[in-house]
Amino acid sequence: MKLQIVIWILVFAGVSCSSYSQLPKNPEDVQPLQVGERIPDVKVRNIDGNLIDMATLLKQKPTILVFYRGGWCPYCNHHLAELADFETQILGQGYQIVAVSPDSPENLNKTLDKNEIQYTLLSDSRGELIKAMGIAYQATFLYESIRSKGATGEKLDLLPVPSLFVADQKGIIRYEYVNPDYKDRMSGEELMKVLSALVK
């Protein structure tokens, strides 16, 4: 019996290591979904911890889908706050804003309060949507330490490359901005120009 338990532990560890090793080691090496492809229908959690279907959410309105590293990241907080400043204009164009991070549902509330956000924040603490979008990479030990203090997500061995996708109600990507440099984000002004161009 003990031998069987040891074997199962080794098998599980092997699968976990294999899954982890498949992630790019560097943010520059991610392979995000492309314009024309569909956002995967992966379940994530809202601030109350309830499961949400991405496909169901996207059907409500065309969507600005933002992926950020976590509430512990000052560059992410600045970007989220800037999006909040432009939310009225974005809503006026017929879009909704949805921001996803590996943070736990509990920590999403802190980010909402800190940045005075009214739009939707979602938790992908297992990294399933982030991986399906092709923007996940291996987090270094430094980031694991920071995330363990700033969030209580379940998946501490990956981070998303900060990204912004514009999707229609069928979940088809119409525009994307994916930049491995976490300090460089799409500004609100640039986003409004993109949305205006997509309408034409």
Q: pLDDT for 59-79, tens place per residue? A: 999 999 999 999 999 999 999
Burial class (CB in 10 A: 0-12, 13-18, 19+), 65: buried
Q: What pLDDT digit, counting tens, does each position of 158-182 carry?
A: 899 999 999 999 999 999 999 999 9
Q: What are the extents of the domains in the chain?
A: 2-199
For position 111, what pLDDT does the model report? 85
In this prediction, the residues of the chain whose per-residue pLDDT falls under 50 are: 1-20
Task: State percent of the chain over pLDDT 90.
Answer: 70
CATH 3.40.50.980 correct for 2-199? no
161 in Cβ contact with 135 (< 8 Å): yes
